[in-house]
Amino acid sequence: MAGVPPKDSGKPETGNVTDDPAAGDEEGMALSEGVTEKEAVGEAEGEGMTEKEATAQVKGVAGAEVGGVGSSEDAGASEEPPETEQVTMKVWRGDPSGGAFVDYVLPRVEGEVVLDVVHRLQATQAHDLAARWNCKAGKCGSCSAEINGKPCLMCMTRMEELPGDTVTVAPMKTFPIIRDLVTDVTFNFVMARQIPAFRPKEPEPDGTYRMQQIDVNRIQEFHKCIECFLCQDVCHVIRDHEVNKLYYAGPRFFVRAAVLEMHPLDTIDRRDLLKEHLGLGFCNITKCCTEVCPEHIHITDNAIIPLKERVADSAYDPVAWLGRKIRGRRKARALEVLELAPAHAAPTSDDLRPAMATQDESGESASRDSAGAPDRSDGGNAGGEHGNNTGG
């Protein structure tokens, strides 16, 4: 090994000096081709070097050759294949009668998403694992689940982005269990049918409709919704209080109402419906729904808060009240529209009461450990299938 000459040396030295006791063996390897160290030093002195510089140069060459031999040995050792990295998947298994997390250990594969790992489990270790999926491209909203406790799409959550070697996968807590990772989302379809559909005004004399571009841009964002219902799952109003499902539509349907309320050609006023039947006032704008939206829709800022402002103006603004008295209503009230609609097209929250009564009578719960979501109540009839159900 090369070193640096001491500072109190009598004259400047440019060679490499070593005090390594193993240098003798290395020198033998470097000078094994019939040239002794003394002869090599003599040749170096003949070229104008001092004896000390010549000795340092000869020993430095020997060390370099020995280092080359060692590096080749290290290179051969590094060619050994590395050990395969393992990942533990804690997947919730069960049905309405109960369930628990089950651990599955399998090799980690580069580039996989959580849905890929679930499919590998179905093919190798858990052939009867039930999971819902469809497009595997983040556009159908079918593979919603809670990954490490956070509502996510399994097809859009990359394994390498999850910390640690253990990943927890659980079904959405807000909705009743059907089996394993599949939940009954009937609640969402019942609420969707309570919102009157778009009803445009009469066309212009030339038979066309006209809108300002600013009105188009305002509602365009909301049309990106894929109905994954992650915002419904994370909303604590119905996640933590099952009884509120009778009176609260949830973020997804506030977005739906905002699309219609902000449409300049629509002729139905849904503000009373939002206030009295869909529970807009329950939302306390914590923005949880915005954080989990895979389409990055600004649900709270662009949909819920503007709807709250419109409802407040309608119910409490005296100037708006006086204007309606003088000019009359320019839109039909949503509650009146629902009264005239066929029963199959406009069900009410009463449709949810039989399912909730079943839950109250059973009193059973499907328990989850602390790694996933907290305990949840089971119940509800299977229905509202959304996407593909895989598993036995």
331 pLDDT band (50/70/90 cuts)?
A: confident
Q: Is 378 helix (H, G, I), strand (E, B) or coil?
A: coil
Domain 194-346: what homologous superfamily? Alpha-helical ferredoxin (1.10.1060.10)
334 pLDDT band (50/70/90 cuts)?
A: confident
CA 15 to chain centre: 61
Query: CA 221, CA 200: separation in Å to the nearest integer?
Result: 20
Least confident of 18-27, 54-63, 223-232, 319-328: 18-27
Query: CA 60, CA 2: separation in Å to the nearest integer?
Result: 7
Shortest CA distance to 41 belongs to which of 26, 17, 25, 57?
Answer: 57
Query: Does 14 score more than 80 pLDDT?
Result: no
More confident residue, 163 or 364: 163
Look at residue 386 in the predicted model and tell me its pLDDT: 42
- Would you mind telling me the total number of residues written for the chain in this entry? 392
180 Cβ contact list (under 8 Å, min separation 6): 91, 92, 93, 94, 95, 99, 129, 130, 131, 171, 391
Could you give the C-alpha distances from 336 to 182, 195, 331, 341, in angstroms and in order? 37, 12, 11, 9
Model confidence pLDDT, tens digit, residues 93-118: 999 999 999 999 999 999 999 999 99
18 pLDDT band (50/70/90 cuts)?
A: very low
Query: Does 348 score more than 60 pLDDT?
Result: no
More confident residue, 182 or 388: 182
CATH value of 86-179 in 3.30.565.10, 3.40.50.300, 3.10.20.30, 3.50.50.60: 3.10.20.30
Query: CA 284, CA 307: separation in Å to the nearest integer?
Result: 13
52 pLDDT band (50/70/90 cuts)?
A: low
Look at residue 350 in the predicted model and tell me its pLDDT: 59
CA 99 to chain centre: 24
Mean pLDDT of the chain: 78
Region 115-124 average pLDDT: 96
Query: Does 38 score more than 80 pLDDT?
Result: no
More confident residue, 239 or 344: 239
Shortest CA distance to 242 belongs to which of 375, 98, 92?
Answer: 375
Shortest CA distance to 169 belongs to which of 141, 197, 196, 150?
Answer: 150
Q: How many CB atoms lie within 10 A of CB 65?
A: 14
10 Cβ contact list (under 8 Å, min separation 6): none
Query: CA 367, CA 177: separation in Å to the nearest integer?
Result: 11
Model confidence pLDDT, tens digit, residues 60-89: 655 544 444 444 445 444 565 567 889 999
Instruction: Confirm whether pTM is higher than 0.75.
Output: no
Least confident of 2-6, 185-189, 306-310, 311-315: 2-6
Domain boundaries, the chain: 1-69, 86-179, 194-346
Query: Does 368 score more than 60 pLDDT?
Result: no
Region 218-226 average pLDDT: 94
Model confidence pLDDT, tens digit, residues 282-304: 999 999 999 999 999 999 999 99
More confident residue, 267 or 344: 267
Q: Is 174 exposed, middle or buried (0-12, 13-18, 19+ CB in 10 A)?
A: buried
Query: CA 195, CA 260: separation in Å to the nearest integer?
Result: 9
DSSP per-residue string spanning 311-368: HHHHHH-HHHHHHHHHH--SSEEHHHHHHHS-TTTS--GGGGHHHHHHHHHH--EE--
Q: Which residues pair with 104 in a beta bridge?
A: 89
Query: Does 30 score more than 60 pLDDT?
Result: no
Counting residues of the chain whose pLDDT is more than 90, the rounded percentage is 49
Model confidence pLDDT, tens digit, residues 153-175: 999 999 999 999 999 999 999 99
Q: How many CB atoms lie within 10 A of CB 391?
A: 16
Look at residue 346 in the predicted model and tell me its pLDDT: 44
234, 151 contact by CB (below 8 A): yes
Question: What radius of gyration do the chain's Cα atoms show?
Answer: 36
